[in-house]
Amino acid sequence: MITQNNKLPEIFESFGEARRNGFITMKKLKDSGKGVVGTFCTYVPVEIIMAGGLVPVGLCSTSDETIAEAEKQLPSNLCPLIKASYGFAITNKCPYMYFSDLVAGETTCDGKIKMYELLGKIKDVYVMALPRQQDRESSRAFWLSEVKAFKQKLESKFGVSITDEKLRRAIKERNRERALLKELYELSTALPPPISGLRQLQILYGTQFKFNYEEKIRELEETIAAIRKTGAAGESPVSKNAKRILITGCPMGGATEKLVRVIEESGGVVVAYENCTGAKQFDRQVDESGDPCEALADYYLAIGCSIMTPNPNRLELLERLCAQFKVDGVVEMLLQSCHTYAVETHTIREFLKQRSIPFISLETDYSAGDVEQLKTRAAAFIEMLASL
């Protein structure tokens, strides 16, 4: 069992509360004349949005509050992330969607692509065409043209000029943020980790709702220093015997925190997130030399998401993190009806089996209805790890 009340200062709470304070923050930004661009996916190059003096904001919803409303238009057997995001859009309940002047979508999974068509009836939606084969030269050339077209779209929509110099500055800023978030989650390589997996997740997830860059950087630096201090003082809330878990699969946050809770209530501790909430976003840096559009195109095309075929970069990252964080087992979180991740589960299982790393895949949605079932399965997995 993990205690959540180790002595981290209030700065930590500011990440947990960032999303909740969204409406006021967004209203202030809009009142100051800022343009807002909403995004759904890690493949969208946020540096271009930043270079235009615009505010990028994540629109993926993580609660089931509006799913019933969404199901009046969308099939019920669709991924909850897509249904919830659309539901919040049509009910005007998401301040980030409400205040977005433009929604930047991407051709990743089929459900999202088709949802963007419907969303386009109520919002200004621009969809970047993402190739599915990272290793082809033609994919790179095509994606580079899409990156440039996105830049042009922002320039014409918002009447701004996005120069190479502005792009280079944005790349540097975002790289700095990535480096800090990586430094933060790498603190959990310690044995025991200085923070619980739930805290780590709340910080990683919460930073995307911090819109003042300097403030965000300062808070991240302070948080890292505070965590180091509690770790050095031997105040970890985690038992040395807790089984070290890496989470892979679909993006997390909000309702899916339930999975981390059940793992950490069953004798495990989540030390690393390989998914888009964690390392998939922050592990690498965009090249700061050379042409900025090319550097962005290369960086984003290399993301290891299951919508790519083949998808070797997910395996490379997974293997590296398992060794770095000395994990005892890997838990995959699958959102219901996410076909690309669900099909890739077999590849992941075989890959980890060859390396003798125990693995379990758990499917869930945004409701609380399956918590008991998740608890049973997570507890059995951790018990099995303890018996090895």
Least distance between ligand BJ8 and beta carbon 9 (Å): 31
| Residue 127 β-bridge partners | 105
The reply on whether position 111 binds ligand BJ8 by CB under 6 A is yes
CA distances from 317 to 16, 313, 325 (A): 27, 6, 12
CB of 307 to ligand BJ8, least distance (A): 5
Among 42, 62, 256, 364, binds ligand BJ8 (CB under 6 A): 42
- The stretch near ligand BJ8 (CB under 6 A) out of 50-58, 78-86, 259-267, 361-369 is 78-86
Question: Is 135 in a helix, a strand, or coil?
Answer: coil
Could you give the CA distance from residue 216 to residue 210 in angstroms, rounded to a whole number? 6
Looking at beta carbons only, is 79 or 260 nearer to ligand BJ8? 79
CA distance 147 to 44: 9
| Distance from C-alpha of 305 to C-alpha of 339, rounded to nearest angstrom | 12
Choices 4-12, 76-84, 139-147, 187-195 (CB under 6 A): range interacting with ligand BJ8: 76-84
| Residue 51 beta carbon to ligand BJ8: minimum distance, rounded to whole angstroms | 21
Structure tokens at 146: 């899409």
* 58 vs 197 by CB, closer to ligand BJ8: 58
Strand pairing report for 55-58 and 125-128: unpaired
- Binders in 353-372 for ligand BJ8, by CB under 6 A: none
Task: Answer whether 30's CB lies under 8 Å from 217's CB.
Answer: no
Subset of 203-232 contacting ligand BJ8 (CB under 6 A)? none
Interface with ligand BJ8 includes 305 (CB under 6 A)? yes
* Candidate segments 41-49, 121-129, 288-296, 352-360, binder of ligand BJ8 by CB under 6 A: 41-49
Q: How many CA atoms lie within 13 A of 190 on its CB side?
A: 22
**H-state helical runs in 78-196:** 80-90, 95-99, 110-119, 137-158, 164-186
* Min CB(74)–ligand BJ8 separation in Å: 12
User: 159: which residues sit within 8 A by CB, 6+ positions away?
Assistant: none
The 10 Å CB-count burial string (b at 16+, else e) for 7-27 is ebeebbebbeebbeebeebbe
Indicate the residue among 30 and 339 with the shorter CB distance to ligand BJ8. Answer: 339
Q: Which of 2, 49, 94, 109 lies at the binding interface for ligand BJ8 (CB under 6 A)? A: 109
Among 51, 119, 250, 352, which residue interacts with ligand BJ8 (rule: CB under 6 A)?
250
Q: Toward ligand BJ8, which CB reaches closer, 39 or 223? A: 39
Encoded one letter per residue, x for contact with ligand BJ8 by CB under 6 A and - for no contact, window 181-200 reads: --------------------
User: Per DSSP, what are the bridge partners of residue 56?
Assistant: 37
Q: By CB under 6 A, which span of 37-45, 134-142, 178-186, 369-377 interacts with ligand BJ8?
A: 37-45
From 28-36, 105-113, 184-192, 204-212, span contacting ligand BJ8 (CB under 6 A): 105-113
Q: Which x/- pattern over 314-343 shows residues binding ligand BJ8 (rule: CB under 6 A)?
A: ---------------------x--x-xx--
Please give the structure tokens belonging to residue 260: 């981390």
Residue in 36, 41, 246, 270 binding ligand BJ8, rule: CB under 6 A: 41
Which of these ranges, 77-85, 152-160, 282-290, 344-352, lies near ligand BJ8 under the rule CB under 6 A?
77-85
Whole-angstrom distance, CA of residue 21 vs CA of residue 114? 30
Task: Please report, to the nearest 10 degrees, the dihedral formed by the alpha carbons of residues 377, 378, 381, 386 taken in order.
Answer: -140
* Contacting residue, 35, 38, 45, 251, with ligand BJ8 by CB under 6 A: 251
Q: What is the DSSP letter of 252?
A: -
Q: CA-to-CA distance for 105 and 148, rounded, in angstroms? A: 15
Rounded-to-integer distance, Cα 326 and Cα 328, Å: 7
Q: Is 100 helix (H, G, I), strand (E, B) or coil?
A: coil
Q: Mask: binding to ligand BJ8, 273-302, rule CB under 6 A, as x and -?
A: ---x--------------------------
Interface residues toward ligand BJ8, by CB under 6 A: 41-43, 79, 81-82, 108-109, 111-112, 250-251, 276, 303, 305, 307, 335, 338, 340-341
